[in-house]
Amino acid sequence: MPSMMAARRSNPLLKSLPRFLTWRSLGFRTICSGRLGFAPSDPDPGPPVSTAGTKFLETFREEFEIGSRLITFETGKIARFANGSVVLGMEETKVLSTVTSSKGDSVRDFLPLTVDYQEKHFAQGVIPSTYLRREGAPKERELLCGRLIDRPIRPLFPAGFFHEVQVMASVLSSDGKRDPDVMAANATSAALMLSDIPWGGPIGVIRIGRIGGQFVVNPTMDELSLSDLNLVYACTKDKTLMIDVQACEISEKDLEAGLRLAHPEAVKYIEPQIRLAAKAGKHKKDYKLSLVSDRSLEKLRNLTEAKIEAVFTDPSYGKFERGEALENIAQEAKRTLEEECDTESLTVLSKVVDRVRKGVVRNRIIAEGFRVDGRRLDEVRPLYCEAGYLPNLHGSSLFSRGDTQVLCTVTLGAPRDAQRLDSLVGSPTKRFMLHYSFPPFSINEVGKRVGLNRREVGHGTLAEKALLAVMPPEDDFPYTVRINSEVMASDGSTSMATVCGGSMALMDAGIPLQEHVAGVSVGLVSEVDPSTGEIKDYRIVTDILGLEDHLGDMDFKIAGTRKGVTAVQLDIKPAGIPLDIICESLEPALKGRLQILARMEQEISAPRSQDHRNSPRLATLKFSNDALRRLIGPLGVLKRKIEEDTGARMSVSDETLTIIAKNQTVLERVQEKVLFFSFVFCSAIYIFPYFD
């Protein structure tokens, strides 16, 4: 349009056009006034047009400070139709969390809680690099952040509340300075407080780091890169709900100090949520709760309790034999109820039988100090370790603890094989990966394998964090490492078995680990005073079975070396456990871990030399960049030719060529072809000694 105006100004004929030759005089609209067409001959202005009124969005805010960071809770401006919605802001990072629940009466016997966390690229002003230029399926990080939100809020829903609840947390903006996961968890707590959903919150979630021996509250991503501790802690005002730790061999004493610092800092999130709920919260609705009547409970207890106790007091039962015997007891009770036409008790049969089983096991542990399989409370199950189970792989191991069995394999690759991450914060690549797989045959069930499983991703990440602390630095060991953990049989603590098996497989591959890492799961069985809800007696149980995990109060997974802890994950079932009991559990976990480490060290105590000609080989060769260009050839033709002829893989970086060969023979063939095609001698060839 400016060019047309300029042409008119510069052409005197256009300036002197008479009025009757203009568009407007002929009844046409000009191009500026919209689409081409006839204008009305006698436009009627009509009545005056009223302007739209201004909509007022009533907004409620709470501001407070934690760890020198100003934090805001805000509600009422966006997502107003959600049952509860809160935007949590910290500097330039903002996270929205919404909660909704189903309207009808529930017909389930469990809580269908779904937590979806999403990081969209617009939060950092970036268009996705995917083909469709939009976000796809949830990434591993998003699944892990969803689990981080789910784990502390789930125990606080009331018993018998089985209505569907959905939490959706999304990052609205990110400055890249801090991880939004903890912010999303606190925003979710505030949203639940504002909603009409019955919930026993609020909770506070905090991240603690440690730099140079000094704890840091709410550390930035730059501070976390210097920290030897990444502790995420969730709690109510007086009890612990969830712990997640990644550390560099931190001692139990220092870990306890971090936990005791985290609790009062996390509690600072609670009071602002209470104030916000007082100003903008909804009245809690009376949802229908699926509770068992006293009559049905007493009747089914009389039918099954003695028989169930007889099964649990017989340590000769294995996992499946015990399960079959318990199923027979339930079927006998079912037939009795059908004969009596007691439909009410039939409806709650499975729930009550499970409650009776829970009571029998817990009472025996507290009163007698004996467990289902006859072990003492602090006794670790029998161990079996075998390194090099699959000799033709880079590294492998088989680890069994009781009936739990895990097969771990190690595969090494070039630096370019590192996983590329697509997240708002953190490193863009990952060179150490652990992938955990839980096939249905491991528990003698039928099922099909689908995509990413939240449980598998969570267990694999926990084991990965545990082993990462002892991996050699990238400058000393630049290769990409992938561990595959295949669960062969499961009877509790497969993630901790993965840590043990992965550590042995890494040493079998010749990777110079600093030392072995082992893990063990500690449980809790408590007796609660019904009048106060406080724990009046309890027992800490080392190396829990799958049944003890199901019937107990907590699953406290702790992994580490002889020097200290490298990873922790705490999940609980009741509405909180006192921090003193959590800290008390660290000591039996250490004793159990040392027993497992001693057995692993008997099997393999140092990185193995790969002297077998059939074992895979990796080699790093140094060339000048000119020689590398000649070796690769136009569009990589010569490089692809060598790979096709030998079956090896080659990776090129600055003055470096990495070769991944199936065995020593293939490696020698590749080196011959490389030297031939390059037309120059290598300025240096270095093959890592543990692959000689």
Handedness of CA 582, 587, 588, 593 (dihedral sign): positive
CB 395 within 8 A of CB 611: no
- The residue whose two tokens read 């708002």 is 424
Dihedral pair phi/psi, residue 103, rounded to 5°: -90, -35
Give residue 687's pLDDT. Answer: 44
Concatenated DSSP letters for 365-379?
Answer: HHHH---TTS--TTP
SS3 content of the chain, % helix, strand, coil (to 5): 40, 25, 35
Predicted local distance difference test score (pLDDT) of residue 34 = 43
Would you say 506 and 534 are in contact if contact means Cβ atoms under 8 Å apart? no
SS3 435: strand
pLDDT recorded at residue 589: 96
pLDDT band at 382 (very low <50, low <70, confident <90, very high): very high
Q: Kind of pairing, strands 480-489 and 535-542?
A: unpaired
Q: Does residue 324 register a pLDDT over 60?
A: yes
CA pair distance 493, 404, nearest whole angstrom: 8
Give the β-pairing of 554-560 and 518-528.
Answer: antiparallel
Confidence of residue 45 (pLDDT cuts 50, 70, 90): low
pTM to 2 decimal places: 0.86
Look over the chain and give the mean of its residue pLDDT values, rounded to a whole number: 86
List b or e across 343-371, with b for residues whose CB sees 16 or more CB atoms inside 10 angstroms: eebbebbebbbebbbbebbbebbeeeeeb
**Least confident window among 402-406, 465-469, 510-514, 564-568:** 510-514
E strand or H helix at 234: strand 229-235
Alpha carbons within 13 A on the beta-carbon side of 117: 25
d(CA 34, CA 56): 33
250 beta partners: 565
> Lowest mean pLDDT: which of 208-217, 240-249, 562-571, 641-650?
641-650
Q: Which of 652, 674, 650, 647 has the alpha carbon at shortest distance from 663?
A: 647
Location of structure tokens 């991450």:
421
Q: Whats the size of the chain, residue-wise?
A: 692
Assigned token pair, 151: 């784990």
Q: d(Cα 432, Cα 469) in Å, to the nearest integer?
A: 11
Residue where the block lists tokens 């394998």: 449
Is residue 159 within 8 Å of 106, Cβ to Cβ?
no
Name residue 590's amino acid: L
pLDDT above 50 for 112: yes
pLDDT over 90 percentage in the chain = 53
Whether 6 has a pLDDT exceeding 60, the answer reads no
Task: Using alpha carbons only, give the angle 465, 398, 598 rounded to the nearest 5 degrees.
Answer: 70
Q: Give the domains, in start order, of the chain with CATH numbers.
A: 2-33 (no CATH), 60-280 (3.30.230.70), 297-368 (1.10.10), 383-603 (3.30.230.70), 617-691 (3.30.1370.10)
d(CA 155, CA 405): 30
Positive/negative CA dihedral, 65, 124, 415, 604: positive
- Tell whether the model's pLDDT for residue 444 goes beyond 80: yes
Q: What is the DSSP letter of 23?
A: T
The secondary structure element, H or E, covering residue 322 is: helix 319-340
Assign 493 to helix, strand or coil: coil
Q: DSSP state, 65?
A: E
Instruction: Give the SS3 label for residue 639.
Output: helix
Q: pLDDT per residue over 606-653, tens digit each?
A: 998 766 656 677 787 877 777 777 777 777 788 888 888 888 888 887
Question: What are the angstrom distances between the C-alpha of 645 and each of 649, 664, 669, 675?
Answer: 11, 15, 9, 15
Report residue 325 CA to chain centroid gap. Answer: 36
CA-based nearest residue to 239, from 583, 580, 535, 578: 578
Residue 684 has pLDDT above 50, yes or no: no
pLDDT score of 663: 79
pLDDT of residue 106: 61
Give the pLDDT score at 437: 95
Alpha carbon distances (Å) from 281 to 74, 151, 190 = 12, 23, 10
Of 490, 433, 427, whose CA–CA distance to 467 is shortest? 433
Tell me what percent of the residues of the chain surpass a pLDDT of 70: 89
Calculate mean pLDDT across residues 37-41: 49
CA distance 165 to 473: 44
| DSSP code string of 369-428 | ---TTS--TTPPPPEEEEE-SSTTSSEEEEEEETTEEEEEEEEEE-GGGSEEP--SSS-S
How far, in Å, CA of 425 to CA of 419, rounded?
15
Which token pair is 564? 């200290």
**What is the distance between the alpha carbons of residues 170 and 5, in angstroms, rounded to a whole number?**
48
Q: Give the pLDDT score at 488.
A: 96
- CB distance 304 to 349 below 8 Å: no
Q: Which residue has the tokens 């079959």?
A: 324
Lowest-confidence segment of 9-18, 128-137, 464-473, 547-556 by average pLDDT:
9-18
**C-alpha–C-alpha distance, residues 203 and 663, integer Å:** 55
Cα(324)–Cα(305) distance, rounded to whole angstroms? 16
Q: Give the C-alpha distances (Å, rounded to integers) separating 662 from 413, 611, 647, 649.
A: 12, 14, 8, 9
Which two tokens mark 233? Answer: 């802690």
Given a cut of 50, whether residue 30 has pLDDT beyond it is no
SS (H, E, C) 664-682: HHHHHHHHHHHHHHHCCCC
Q: Supply 335's token pair.
A: 């037939």
Going from the C-alpha of 688 to that of each of 83, 481, 511, 609, 616, the distances in angstroms are 59, 15, 10, 11, 13
